[in-house]
Structures are given as C-alpha cells and as structure tokens.
C-alpha cells in the first residue's frame, strides 16, 4: 500500500492551483513531476559544489566528480547492468537512440534490414530512417492490431538472416501497450540481430533488468521518472559499445590528441564528449533512489488500479472511445469523444485545472492507423488519486456538454 498523503506531500507542484482550480496532473507520460528530495539535490549541487568534473584537482571538482560517478553506479544498479561503464549519460532517450543509430551507420550495408514496430514514438523511427538513407538498409515494420498490440506472427515473418537490428519500445507512449520485449529480444538474437529497447515510457512504471532481458541497448530519460529534463541514459552491452565509433568529438572523450592522430578514451567517456549535465546526472541518481524507496512493485500495482478505475469510469460516458485496449497495458488512457476534436477537450480540461496531452503524441503512424487526428491522453503516476480521476471524468462530461 502506498502512503498517498505522504507521497503527495513530497511534490510541491501538486499544491498549486491552475485557472483557480487545484492542479490535476495527468500528463505524466510527457514528463513526470519532481519530488522535493530531487529538487533538494539540484539546489545542493548549485549551492555547494558546482564545478566541472574529471578535470580539476580542486575539492569542488572532486566532489562533483564523485557524486556524478556515484549516480552512474546508482543507474547501473537500478538497471542491473554488469558494469558502470556500460551506462552512458546522454541528454535523454532521443539522444541515446541517435547515438546508436549514428554508430551503426559504419556497421550496416546496403540490403541489411532493420525492424521497428508500428507503436514507435518518432524518436524511434526517424533516426532509423536517416540510417537507412545513409546505408541503403531497409526499414520493416511489425504491424499492430485494433487493440494496439503488436502482431507477433508478423514479426516472425519479418525476421531473417538479413535482419541486423530490431528497435521496439518497451511501452507505447500513445496507447500504453506493454510490448512482449522478452520474446522480441530472444527471436531477434536467434537470427543474430541486435536489439534496442526504448524504455522511455517503461522506466516510470517498472524496473528493467538488462542482463535478464539480455538486451543489447536500453534507453531512458530521467524526466519521465521524477528526475530533471535534459539527462538520460544509454545502456549498451560492453561488446557493442566497443564496436560503435564515438558519436561526437571533443573534450573528455579522448585518450590523446595531436594534429596527426587522436586516440579515444575507453568506456564510458568515449561517448561523453564535452561538459555534461552534471547536476542532471546526480539528480537522475536521486530520482532513481526516490522511486526505489517507494518500490516499483507497489507503484505498478497502484497504477494498475488507477488504470482500471479510470477506464471503467470513462467508458460510461456515451460516445467516448478508448484507443489502446491491449491486455497488457500501463496507466495511460488515450481517448476521444465522438465528433469532438481532442484539442478542444484538452483546452476545456485545462480551464478546470486538469493537465492532459492532446494530439498525435509524436506517434503519427498510430494515429494514421486509427484514422484520427490525435487523442486526449491521460497518463497516471503513483502520486495521482482516484479522486483526481473523478475530477477528470466530470471534466470530460462537461467538455462533452459544451462542445456537442
């Protein structure tokens, strides 16, 4: 059981009013809110030991370096990576995916095949299309069904000896579908393909074990799991990270530089050119500690309750259709009111203090599949309540009345 009162007290933003109403924050899939424990870490960094890392002999620099590297270990432990140097700090999921895509441009050949899924966010589509343009590789797509589930029999048909890479999200941002990534990884490995799992939407809800999954790359953003924006991570198996060339050149990623030749630093620094988001990395570690203290089993169980409660109550509204009805799904409800544009519903909800996301959610192919311009997406976190869902349901009813 979660102590909701105590948890909500950790999030100062939940006390604010929006348009004269108490904030109901249901845009957690876009970005989660930040607990005081993480805010304190950010303030402490800038108040007490702001310095560049890995460079200075002075005390502040050493303190900052120690905390930044300690956070890397926290991330390593959380994802159960075998080594801390398999965790690369990035600015977020998008950066992590682009780093891998760019690296593979020197490893792929014309006619190689890459598989993505119909449920991907644009950031797990566009970099691979760019990679295909550069290399002559071919992009193939695992289709989805009306419930928003991947059609796994079609995946089986797509796999062959030309398949070099498979990229699938762990959880769909637009529909909440939890994809069968264990099966996807195992089958890809049977044909010798590497797998990248986009965990941006999974990490706020589950604790992935990269070694148990035997995944080659796993990526996530801190800001979706109670951390700050502008920082994230790439997990890569050591063997793969050693094969990939550096993504950017610059300071910190080198062993030695001269005008005739540069040699690169080892992992993880080879992929971490320039001054990183030091405070962000430290706060990412604090966010992981915060979420683990609450407990991912308890989070998943409670969020499932919220999902079931919201689904039932929303479906009682005549003319409301939910997109994404997979058996295995997380706390995201994407819906539309018949004949009403999602943007209009979102605007009225905002007037009532309720924050939801409207539009295509950076997943246009999903919208195209359902032949809709977008949806209203309410995404719940462990600090949300059933009372807030009641407020959403009455807000949607009000919007329907005003817009019909």
Positions marked catalytic: 362
Closest to ligand C6P by CB, 357 or 400? 357
The answer to the question of residue 198 lying near ligand C6P (CB under 6 A) is yes
- Residue 95 C-beta: closest distance to ligand C6P, Å: 7
Q: Site mask, ligand C6P, residues 99-128, x = CB under 6 A?
A: ----------------------x-xx----
Q: Is the dihedral of CA 182, 204, 140, 98 positive or negative?
A: negative
Torsion angles phi and psi, residue 323, rounded to 5: -100, 130
177: how many CB neighbours lie within 10 A of its CB? 28
Q: Which of 175, 172, 164, 229 is nearest to 34 (CA)?
A: 229
The answer to the question of residue 362 lying near ligand C6P (CB under 6 A) is yes
H helix and E strand count, the chain: 14, 17
Q: Which residue's beta carbon is nearest to the bound ligand C6P?
A: 173
The answer to the question of residue 144 lying near ligand C6P (CB under 6 A) is no
The answer to the question of residue 92 lying near ligand C6P (CB under 6 A) is yes
The answer to the question of residue 385 lying near ligand C6P (CB under 6 A) is no
The single residue among 32, 74, 94, 277 that binds ligand C6P, judged by CB under 6 A, is: 94
Closest to ligand C6P by CB, 210 or 234? 234
The answer to the question of residue 384 lying near ligand C6P (CB under 6 A) is no
Q: Is the dihedral of CA 274, 125, 362, 184 positive or negative?
A: negative
Torsion angles phi and psi, residue 353, rounded to 5: 85, 10
Q: Using N-to-C axis directions, what is the helix angle for 296-315 and 278-294, rounded to 10°?
A: 80
The single residue among 33, 135, 221, 385 that binds ligand C6P, judged by CB under 6 A, is: 221
- Residue 28 C-beta: closest distance to ligand C6P, Å: 9
The answer to the question of residue 33 lying near ligand C6P (CB under 6 A) is no
189: how many CB neighbours lie within 10 A of its CB? 15
Write the burial class of residue 295 (CB in 10 Å: 0-12 exposed, 13-18 middle, 19+ buried): middle
* Interaction site with ligand C6P (CB under 6 A): 29-30, 92-94, 121, 123-124, 169, 173, 198, 200-201, 221, 357, 361-362
């Amino acid at each position: 059981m979660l102590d909701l009162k105590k948890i909500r007290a950790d999030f100062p933003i939940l006390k604010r009013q929006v348009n004269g109403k108490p904030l109901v924050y249901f845009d957690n899939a876009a970005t989660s809110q930040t607990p005081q424990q993480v805010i304190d870490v950010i303030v402490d960094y800038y108040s007490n030991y702001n310095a560049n890392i890995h460079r200075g002999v002075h005390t502040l620099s050493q303190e900052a370096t120690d905390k930044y590297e300690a956070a890397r270990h926290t991330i390593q432990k959380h994802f159960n990576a075998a080594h801390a140097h398999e965790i690369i700090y990035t600015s977020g999921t998008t950066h992590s995916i682009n780093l891998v895509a760019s690296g593979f441009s020197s490893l792929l050949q014309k006619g190689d095949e890459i598989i993505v899924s119909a449920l991907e966010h644009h950031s797990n589509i566009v970099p691979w299309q760019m990679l295909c343009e550069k290399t002559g590789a071919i992009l193939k797509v695992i289709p989805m069904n009306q419930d928003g589930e991947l059609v796994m029999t079609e995946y089986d048909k797509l796999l062959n000896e030309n398949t070099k890479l498979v990229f699938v999200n762990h959880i769909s941002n637009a529909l909440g579908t939890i994809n069968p990534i264990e099966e996807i990884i195992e089958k890809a490995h049977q044909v010798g393909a590497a797998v990248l799992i986009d965990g941006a939407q999974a990490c706020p809800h589950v604790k992935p074990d990269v070694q148990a999954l035997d995944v080659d790359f796993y990526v996530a953003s801190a800001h979706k799991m109670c951390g700050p924006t502008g920082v994230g991570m790439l997990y890569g198996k050591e063997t793969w990270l050693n094969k990939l060339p550096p993504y950017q050149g610059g300071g910190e990623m080198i062993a030695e530089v001269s005008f005739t030749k540069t040699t690169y630093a080892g992992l993880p620094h080879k992929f971490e050119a320039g001054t990183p988001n030091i405070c962000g990395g430290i706060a990412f570690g604090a966010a992981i500690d915060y979420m683990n203290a609450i407990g991912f089993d308890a989070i998943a169980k409670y969020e499932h309750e919220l999902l079931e409660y919201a689904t039932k109550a929303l479906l009682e509204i005549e003319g409301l259709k939910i997109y994404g009805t997979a058996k295995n799904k997380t706390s995201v409800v994407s819906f539309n009111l018949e004949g009403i544009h999602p943007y209009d519903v979102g605007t009225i909800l905002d007037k009532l203090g309720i924050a939801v996301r409207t539009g295509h959610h950076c997943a246009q192919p999903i919208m195209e599949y359902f032949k809709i311009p977008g949806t209203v997406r309410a995404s719940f976190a462990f600090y949300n309540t059933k009372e807030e869902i009641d407020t959403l349901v009455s807000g949607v009813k009000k919007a329907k009345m005003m817009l019909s």
